[in-house]
Amino acid sequence: MLYIIGLGLGDQRDITLRGLEAVKECEKIYIEAYTSLLSFGLSADGLSTLEKLYGKPLTLADRETVEEKADAVLAEAQGSNVAFLVVGDPFGATTHTDLVVRARKLGIDVKVVHNASVMNAVGVCGLQLYRYGETVSIPFFTETWRPDSFYEKIQRNRALGLHTLCLLDIRVKEPSLESLCRGKKLYEPPRYMTINTAIEQLLEVEQVCRESAYSEDTECVGFARLGSEDQMIVAGSMKQLLTLDFGEPLHCLVIVGKTHPVEDEMLEFYKLGGDGTQKKDNGIL
């Protein structure tokens, strides 16, 4: 059996009872470490915290393990129970869907244990989930690569009055271009895109495209460490959010579409005042 188990968004306590029971039935436990991040990270101390809870050792699964060495993981699942732990919900990333497809083609039974993900947790700001359009990803720009495919999707969402969730780039165990050219992989330090960088890039693309999909005055909501005890949620214009320090990762951004009065009432809890501070407490968990 291959179990794919969502861990939720906060810390080790967010695993469900069903998920915890499944973990305890498994001989081998992998934890995926590149599409998201738990609040306490996946350092040696972080892994130790999880191992104490589960009573079993964990194997860190980076991008290479999942995308290039998945056959080895699936081979283990053909003869024993294997758990694959995912921050958030198992189907928050297409990589995990691919793992399910490959397992089922090999005749391996798969059980999925769901959990909270960024896709539904953003509802805490009051913007109704059914009023969201297509989700977009904002990648880190480089000197030679500045993609803008997300722009058209945001424009289409806003034309329909829909909100847009922007997932911000995570770069974990990425080989440097220079090392690839030399034929020997050397990895760059981990990088997590901030709301500030995302807005800078969004405004840069608007300057190039000039189709008024949004502007520095467009209302947005910035989220940091969503689902954690110290989560930060701030609503304001792009220009306002650009000046704030949202602190540690992970960050995401919502570009607000047409709002309902009930949504406006909830957003007031998170809005910035004229002095750049929030009007009310934003500590809703």
Going by the annotation, the residues of the binding site for S-adenosyl-L-methionine are 9, 89, 92, 117-118, 168, 226, 251
Q: What is the phi/psi pair of residue 217, to 5°?
A: -95, 0
Q: Where do we find the tokens 């440097």? A: 176
CA–CA separation, 115 and 121 (whole Å): 11
Q: Answer whether 7's CB lies under 8 Å from 85's CB.
A: yes
Q: Answer whether 151's CB lies under 8 Å from 205's CB.
A: yes
Q: Answer whether 238's CB lies under 8 Å from 217's CB.
A: yes
Strands 219-224 and 232-237: antiparallel
Binding-site positions read 9, 89, 92, 117-118, 168, 226, 251
Contacts of 145 (CB under 8 A, 6+ apart): none
CA–CA separation, 44 and 178 (whole Å): 29
Question: What does each C-alpha distance from 40 to 10, 36, 43, 174, 232 come to in angstroms?
Answer: 8, 12, 8, 21, 16
How close are the terminal C-alpha atoms of the chain, in Å? 35
